[in-house]
Amino acid sequence: MTDRMPLPGDLTRRRFLQGSTLAGTAAFLAACGTPPAGSGAASATAAASEAPSASASAAATPANSGDLRFANWIGYIDTADDGTYPTIQKFETESGIEVTYGDGEVDDNETFFTSDLQAPLDAGLPTEWDIVVVTDWMVGRLARLGWLETIDTAMTPNFVANLAENYKGRSFDPDTNLAAPWQSGMTGLGFDKNKTGDLDSLEVFFNDQFKGKLTYLSEMRDTVGLSAIRLGSDPANLTQEQFDAALAEVDKAIKAGVVRQVTGNSYVEDMAGGSVVLSMAWSGDVLSLLVPDQKADQDFQWALPKEGGMLWTDNMVIPKGSPNKAQAERWIDFYYEPTNAATIEAWVNYVCPVAGAKEVMVELDAEIANNPLIFPPEDWVARLRQFRTTTAEEETAWAEAFTKAMGL
Amino acid sequence: MRRALHLRAIAPYALLLPGLLWLVLFYVYPAFQMFLVSMWTGNLDAGFVQSWNWGIYPEAIAEYWPWLARSIVYGGLATILAFALGFPLAYAIAFRGGAYKNVLLFLVIAPFFTSFLLRTISWKIILADNGLLLGPLKDVGLLSEEFRLLATPAAVIAGITYNFLPFMTLPLYVALERMDKRLIEAAEDLYAGPWRPQGIIAGLVIGGVLGVVVGAVMGYGPVVVGIVGAVAGALVGTFLISQAFIRVTLPLALPGIFAGSLLTFIPAVGDFINAELLGNPQSLMIGNVIQARYLEVTDYPTASALSFVLMLAILIGLFFYARLLGTEELTGASV
């Protein structure tokens, strides 16, 4: 999901400030009882998980040596105070595979595509990475271009068994063997309850009630997706007519000045400063960024609209020609052990795609396990929509139409 | 002896070499590459081919000239405002800084120790609708509840001005600092006095015109802003500008003005961070367009063509600007 800034650090990426605010966030989480990296609870899980992992990987003959080069977004894995990654270390010990972890190597889908993937893959050469984490639509693009390796699911029994149902057979990955979800997030209503009252409908994004005090997201799939949901369309099978209708509403609201700005996650600062009281917001932002910045008269909330909200996912994929495909599959299988996923989740706090992680988390930290922003309940899952994959023509045409509506 | 002479002859070229290599490697080559890309046709999936499609240039200009024009206006206004703020600042440090010169200079560049991005984001807090600046003004009823600075062209121009102010101030300081102050005394000995009435008229006209333009671009009533500008200009012209300043200080500061305004204007026109963070959909600049075309629409040719057009526009502007200020005076004054 993400975004568009090549420099100097990405502006619109939802995790953009997270690097600089990690310390503050960690302090906040600690205060709330969430164990940050390296805490006693996390290491307890590590110990508890050894038994199941040994039995789980006994099915095939997985890689037991070699290298794995893993490019991920910043702050997207449990990190100890000394900058090491406990879960990675556990994997290295368990598998004998040496991991090069690129923390923050991916800082934006488009930029990463341009800088690390396009040139080698276009020339039929391997990239510098064996696993990269990219958002749904980028998986769609890479799959369309034939630039992904297929995950050998015989080697990843945990992935097969523990991938949550709503992630199976997605439009860009019908056989569920190209992309292994890493973390998800939801897009819905972010608001300052003290100024807006309780909100539960997408209508407020399109009428004059909060004119000039609300923001849209610069992610086409979030903004147009929510607009489509409001019009009764399902983004999972959006037609051109439905896209046009949804975009027309967005365009109208922007032109009329209802929308103050179309932003990446800089809406967070505007909400903290009080200039913006309502935004199309990513669930993770409200959880990790807004709340610590809250002033006495502010009360930030994130709500899944009654009409529905967007679910987006960052996925692990194996770029074509990776020399360490077996090692990559071993890692994917490792991540899909609920204990490992839960350990990472306790630190990352997005939506976990691994079934069974919630049960582990109940033991680990009941507060996180019961947080709907991290483990959405059934009725939320039923209302969450995923944007469908696009053809090459649609990808360009829709991106172009959306940037025009954004004033570009 | 002959050998030594020979070395002395090639030494300047040898000294140029590292810089030249750097320039060729990191500027000329990428620029040439970008030029080639601008005349590609195709798309991401089918691939791009070098088609020498010159037509993309008129097409890109026809479609995006409003953003180009807006960028030049915003960049130009930010440069003028940076000059209006930077000149008195540099003057005060150079002439009245005394023992605190270095401390004051350090304060000018201190913002550079923070990232550009964070500095810009901090403006969101300062200019917030009910924040430090606007909150009290709204509380006492000077401004209406709906008034805002964020997400307006004013915030974008102010942000650019702030971010590039040191680039303007430092060259001005250097020019003023090395000026021989005795020249001013000499001018005064030769009966250089206050610059009236020319100062009043010039201040009135310059301040007024600038006020009208700023007001019009930012959308705050050109007449009111124009009158405020004219009054301020007249006051400055009456009390602060002397004949010695016009005849001695200003001409000697010209190289600094030239360097400072280029260092400010060129990056300001291409800036996209301020428009992205502080602007609204109606105040986006050409940098935002280039970025969106390149990264989001994967329309590499148009993005490259627009980058070239921008570069060319700046070069042409530069040429006329240099002619206007007079290259002879520039080089003459810098010796």
Two tokens, residue A125: 């050469």
The percentage of chain A sitting over the pLDDT mark of 90, rounded to a whole number, equals 72
Q: Which domain holds residue A265?
A: 187-311+388-405
B144 near A CB under 8 A: no
User: Which chain A residues are closer than 8 Å to B283 by Cβ?
Assistant: 407
Give me the torsion for CA of B201, B203, B205, B209, rounded to 10°.
180
By 3-state DSSP, what share of chain B in percent is helix, strand and coil, each rounded to 5?
Answer: 80, 5, 20
Rounded CA separation B171/B257 (Å): 7
User: Which chain A residues are closer than 8 Å to B121 by Cβ?
Assistant: 266, 269
Which of A34-43, A95-104, A114-123, B284-293 has the weakest average pLDDT?
Answer: A34-43
Q: Do B296 and A260 touch (CB under 8 A)?
A: no
Q: Are strands A300-303 and A179-192 parallel, antiparallel or unpaired?
A: antiparallel
pLDDT for the residue B328: 56
A399 near B CB under 8 A: yes
Q: Do B296 and A4 touch (CB under 8 A)?
A: yes
Residue B95 pLDDT level (bands cut at 50, 70, 90): very high
Of A270, A392, A406, the CB nearest to B43: A392
By 3-state DSSP, what share of chain A in percent is helix, strand and coil, each rounded to 5?
Answer: 45, 15, 35
Q: Do B128 and A266 touch (CB under 8 A)?
A: no
Give, as one character, the DSSP assignment of residue A151.
P
Asked whether residue A9 is domain-assigned, the answer is no
What is the pLDDT of chain A when averaged over all its residues? 85
Asked whether residue B86 is domain-assigned, the answer is yes
Residue type, B115: S
Q: Do B124 and A403 touch (CB under 8 A)?
A: no
Residue B329 pLDDT level (bands cut at 50, 70, 90): low
Q: Which domain holds residue B139?
A: 64-193+242-334
Q: Is the pLDDT of residue A292 over 50?
A: yes
When comparing pLDDT for A296 and A69, which is higher?
A69
Exposure pattern of B142-177 as b/e (b: 16+ CB <10 Å)?
A: ebeeeebbbbbbbbbbbbbbbbbbbbbbbbbbbbbb
B10 near A CB under 8 A: no
When comparing pLDDT for A207 and A274, which is higher?
A207
pLDDT for the residue B297: 93
The percentage of chain A sitting over the pLDDT mark of 70, rounded to a whole number, equals 85
- 3-state SS class at A8: coil
Asked whether residue A13 is domain-assigned, the answer is no
User: Which chain A residues are closer than 8 Å to B47 by Cβ?
Assistant: 122
The DSSP string of B196-235 is: TTHHHHHHHHHHHHHHHHHHHHHTS-HHHHHHHHHHHHHH
pLDDT tens-digit profile of B167-188? 999 999 999 999 998 999 999 9
Residue A48 pLDDT level (bands cut at 50, 70, 90): very low
Q: Is the pLDDT of residue B313 over 50?
A: yes
Report yes or no: A97 and A328 within 8 Å, Cβ to Cβ: no
Asked whether residue B228 is domain-assigned, the answer is no
pLDDT for the residue A60: 53
The percentage of chain B sitting over the pLDDT mark of 90, rounded to a whole number, equals 72
Asked whether residue A126 is domain-assigned, the answer is yes
Chain A: nearest CA to B166, how far in angstroms? 19
Asked whether residue A2 is domain-assigned, the answer is no
Residue A331's CATH number: 3.40.190.10
Q: Is the pLDDT of residue B221 over 70?
A: yes
Q: Do B130 and A399 touch (CB under 8 A)?
A: no
Consecutive H or E run containing A117: none
Two tokens, residue A21: 């605010």
From first CA to last CA, the distance across chain A in angstroms is 20
User: Which chain B residues are closer than 8 Å to A108 by Cβ?
Assistant: 295
Segment A296-317 mean pLDDT: 94
Residue B187's CATH number: 1.10.3720.10
CB pairs under 8 A between A and B: 108
Segment B53-71 mean pLDDT: 96
Segment A38-59 mean pLDDT: 41
B145 near A CB under 8 A: no
With vertex at residue B178, the alpha carbon angle to CA B173 and CA B179, rounded to the nearest 5 degrees, is 100
User: Which chain B residues are closer than 8 Å to A141 by Cβ?
Assistant: 44
Alpha helices in A148-307 (DSSP H): 157-162, 193-196, 220-230, 240-255, 267-273, 283-285, 291-293
B153 near A CB under 8 A: no
Quick one: A158 and A220 in the same domain? no
Quick one: A173 and A258 in the same domain? no
Asked whether residue A330 is domain-assigned, the answer is yes
Q: Do A11 and B299 touch (CB under 8 A)?
A: no
pLDDT tens-digit profile of B25-37? 999 999 999 999 9
- 3-state SS class at A152: coil
pLDDT for the residue A286: 77
User: Which chain B residues are closer than 8 Å to A111 by Cβ?
Assistant: 295
Chain A: nearest CA to B285, how far in angstroms? 8
pLDDT for the residue B261: 95
B43 near A CB under 8 A: yes
Asked whether residue A381 is domain-assigned, the answer is no
Asked whether residue B236 is domain-assigned, the answer is no
Q: Is the pLDDT of residue A68 over 50?
A: yes
Asked whether residue A283 is domain-assigned, the answer is yes
Quick one: A28 and A143 in the same domain? yes
Segment B119-132 mean pLDDT: 88
pLDDT tens-digit profile of A245-270? 999 999 999 999 999 999 987 888 88
Rounded CA separation A191/A285 (Å): 12
pLDDT for the residue A55: 42
Give me the torsion for CA of B259, B260, B265, B268, rounded to 10°.
130
Segment A273-287 mean pLDDT: 88
What is the tally of structural domains in chain B?
Answer: 1
- Interface mutation vs chain A, best among B117, B272, B299, most A CBs within 10 Å: B117
pLDDT for the residue A351: 93
pLDDT for the residue A29: 36
Quick one: A236 and A327 in the same domain? no
Q: Do A274 and B131 touch (CB under 8 A)?
A: yes
Asked whether residue B322 is domain-assigned, the answer is yes
Chain A: nearest CA to B127, how far in angstroms? 9
Residue A41 pLDDT level (bands cut at 50, 70, 90): very low
Find the closest chain A residue to B122 by CA distance.
Answer: A269
Q: Is the pLDDT of residue A271 over 60?
A: yes
Chain A: nearest CA to B284, how far in angstroms? 7
A270 near B CB under 8 A: yes
Q: Do A408 and B43 touch (CB under 8 A)?
A: no
Residue type, A146: G
Q: Which range has highest mean pLDDT (A56-65, A249-258, A266-275)? A: A249-258
Segment A164-185 mean pLDDT: 95
Instruction: For CA atoms A387, A391, A392, A395, give the dihedral sign.
Output: negative
Q: Is the pLDDT of residue A184 over 50?
A: yes
Quick one: A253 and A393 in the same domain? yes
Q: Is the pLDDT of residue A49 over 50?
A: no
Asked whether residue B1 is domain-assigned, the answer is no
Q: Is the pLDDT of residue A22 over 70?
A: no
pLDDT for the residue B220: 84
- Interface mutation vs chain B, best among A195, A390, A403, most B CBs within 10 Å: A403
Asked whether residue B24 is domain-assigned, the answer is no
Residue A35 pLDDT level (bands cut at 50, 70, 90): very low
pLDDT tens-digit profile of A350-405? 899 999 999 999 988 898 899 999 999 999 999 999 999 999 999 999 999 999 99
User: Which chain B residues are closer than 8 Å to A272 by Cβ?
Assistant: 125
Compute how many other C-beta atoms are within 10 angstroms of the C-beta atom of residue A41. 17
Rounded CA separation A140/A144 (Å): 6
Rounded CA separation A63/A96 (Å): 9
Q: Is the pLDDT of residue B16 over 80?
A: yes
pTM for this prediction: 0.85
Asked whether residue A239 is domain-assigned, the answer is yes
- 3-state SS class at A221: helix
Quick one: A245 and A336 in the same domain? no
pLDDT tens-digit profile of A325-344? 999 999 999 999 999 999 99
Segment B263-273 mean pLDDT: 95
pLDDT for the residue A153: 95
Which of A295-309, B1-15, B198-212, B219-233 has the weakest average pLDDT?
Answer: B1-15
Q: Is the pLDDT of residue A20 over 50?
A: no
Rounded CA separation B45/B28 (Å): 29
Segment B247-261 mean pLDDT: 92
Report yes or no: A214 and A258 within 8 Å, Cβ to Cβ: yes
Q: Is the pLDDT of residue A161 over 60?
A: yes
Q: Do B128 and A259 touch (CB under 8 A)?
A: no
Asked whether residue B43 is domain-assigned, the answer is no
Segment B306-326 mean pLDDT: 90
Cα separations in angstroms, B264 against B86, B115, B174, B215: 11, 18, 16, 21
Cα separations in angstroms, A144 against A31, A172, A182: 45, 8, 21
Q: Is the pLDDT of residue B165 over 50?
A: yes
Asked whether residue B31 is domain-assigned, the answer is no
- Interface mutation vs chain A, best among B37, B129, B272, most A CBs within 10 Å: B129
A124 near B CB under 8 A: no
pLDDT for the residue B2: 57
What is the tally of structural domains in chain A?
Answer: 2
Segment B297-308 mean pLDDT: 95
pLDDT for the residue B327: 59
pLDDT for the residue A52: 43
Give the distance, in angstroms, between the CA of residue A329 and the centroid of all CA atoms in the same chain.
20
Residue type, B190: L
Rounded CA separation B305/B62 (Å): 12
A363: closest CA among A90, A32, A49?
A49
Q: Do B289 and A144 touch (CB under 8 A)?
A: no
Chain A: nearest CA to B288, how far in angstroms? 7
What residue has token string 């010695």? B244
Which of A106-115, B239-248, B324-333 has the weakest average pLDDT?
Answer: B324-333
Rounded CA separation B326/A157 (Å): 76
Find the closest chain B residue to A399 by CA distance.
Answer: B297
Two tokens, residue A101: 């972890």
Quick one: A170 and A249 in the same domain? no
pLDDT for the residue A288: 67
